[in-house]
Amino acid sequence: MPALRPFGLFTLHYAFYQLSAALAGGFVGAFLLQQGFGLPAALVAYAGLLITRFSLRALALEVVRSLGYRRTLMLGAALGAVQFLPLMQAAEPAWLLAWLGLVSLAECLYWPVHHAAQAVIGGECRGREMGIKSAVGALVGVFGPLAGGMLLTRCGPTVDFAVAAVLSLASILPLFRLGDIPAGPVPSFRDSLQAVDRSAIATFAADGWMSSGLGFAWPMVLFLALGSHYEAFGAANAAAGLVGAATGLICGRAIDRGERDRYLTLVCLALTLGFVLRVGAGWSPLAATLANATGAAVAGLYLPVLMSVIYDRAKRSGEAYRFHVAAEAGWDAGAAAGCLVGALLAWATAMPSLAVLPAALGIFGIHAGVRSPRRAAPLVAPARPA
């Protein structure tokens, strides 16, 4: 089965990389709160990270042009491993700025190439592949939070972050055997500003806006609701990961049967309910845990629906990397704006759970963006390489 080999290697890389993120990256917001940051300040810090990531696009293009796609993935993963050194001293402004800069550079290199590679590797059974990827991420999300919570509580952040750094470096090993990634030419900075697919950028911007609540604000709200205990926080996320693994596989198979639109409606309704549960969860640890588990179930449906559309459109564009550079810029802009609005609301009301609420507006953009491909105008012809 040689055709499946690149997908298997890339999935193995993704599993190690996500395990590193689940073991430590998922606790970064909680760690910042433990270092004395309030929720509004932590959200502003995340917004600064996203704005910096957005502004480094020109530099990232030159690095990719020099190194190629595969080696850029390796460099991004390696820089991600180093981020924990300045994070340990994030209470000091200089180290906080160093951490923000390092993470911004690592992510602006890594994620556009990651998504471009996922778009062009495989694709014959996109729903099944996205279901496998979501399930792998969710299963990793069971062990990672449990282990991370135990390590942070019993051994301290130094040990937990060191193990996460080793796993991030280990994720590079499968990439040595991956071979070339046919993601099209690397665009010039000017060409990268000209969108291959405006609908995809708008959809990613809506996803970024929604992620400001679900991915940045909510984990910190949950941590506070659980009494700021790392082990309880990890256990809640582990239970959620188990639920998300099952729904990811179910949704992936449904997409391959042509049922994406039916699941899209279900997902949008479930996302709306999930936001309601999260807003009310700040007053009860049990309610917060239940909201977290139901949210993971929705994510197991949501991610395959969204990303199967995006990856198919990226592959059809013939310039998957250029497509995702523009789409990731949209995501950064949406997420940064959402973090700032959430921070303002949390500061003005002194109610942490309300920081999640503005992100619910992203559901409308997701619904429109995922449905739009069948009615959208044909993709713009790829620009000539500079």
Reported confidence tier of residue 53, pLDDT bands at 50, 70, 90: very high
* C-alpha distances out from residue 350 to 37, 222, 256, 270, Å: 14, 15, 45, 27
Q: What is the pLDDT of residues 194-239, one digit of tens each?
A: 766 788 888 889 999 999 998 999 999 999 988 889 999 888 888 7
Torsions phi, psi of 183, nearest 5? -100, 15
Q: What is the pTM of this model?
A: 0.85
Looking at per-residue pLDDT, the higher value among 370 and 233 belongs to 233
- Pair of tokens at residue 290: 């239940």
Looking at per-residue pLDDT, the higher value among 53 and 259 belongs to 53
pLDDT of 251 = 63
Contact in structure between 184 and 321 (CB atoms under 8 Å): yes
Distance separating alpha carbons of residues 202 and 128, to the nearest angstrom: 25
- Across the range 106-128, mean pLDDT stands at 84
Distance separating alpha carbons of residues 54 and 320, to the nearest angstrom: 18
* pLDDT above 90 coverage of the chain, percent: 45
pLDDT of 259 = 63
Distance separating alpha carbons of residues 35 and 357, to the nearest angstrom: 25
- Across the range 90-99, mean pLDDT stands at 94
pLDDT of 245 = 65
Q: What is the pLDDT of residues 229-269, one digit of tens each?
A: 999 988 888 877 777 666 666 666 666 666 666 777 877 88
- Kindly calculate the radius of gyration of the chain based on its CA atoms and give it in whole angstroms: 19
Reported confidence tier of residue 149, pLDDT bands at 50, 70, 90: very high
- Pair of tokens at residue 255: 């997409």
Distance separating alpha carbons of residues 318 and 182, to the nearest angstrom: 9
pLDDT of 2 = 41
pLDDT of 377 = 38
Is a pLDDT exceeding 60 seen at residue 152?
yes
Contact in structure between 7 and 122 (CB atoms under 8 Å): yes
What domains does the chain contain, in order, with CATH numbers? 2-178+187-374 (1.20.1250.20)
Contact in structure between 130 and 303 (CB atoms under 8 Å): yes
The CA-based dihedral angle spanning residues 352, 358, 364, 370, taken in that order and rounded to the nearest 10 degrees: -60
pLDDT of 255 = 62
b/e sequence 322-354, b meaning 16+ C-beta within 10 Å? bbbbbbbbbbbbbbbbbbbbbbebbeeeeebbb
- Write out the H or E segment, with its range, that includes residue 22: helix 5-23
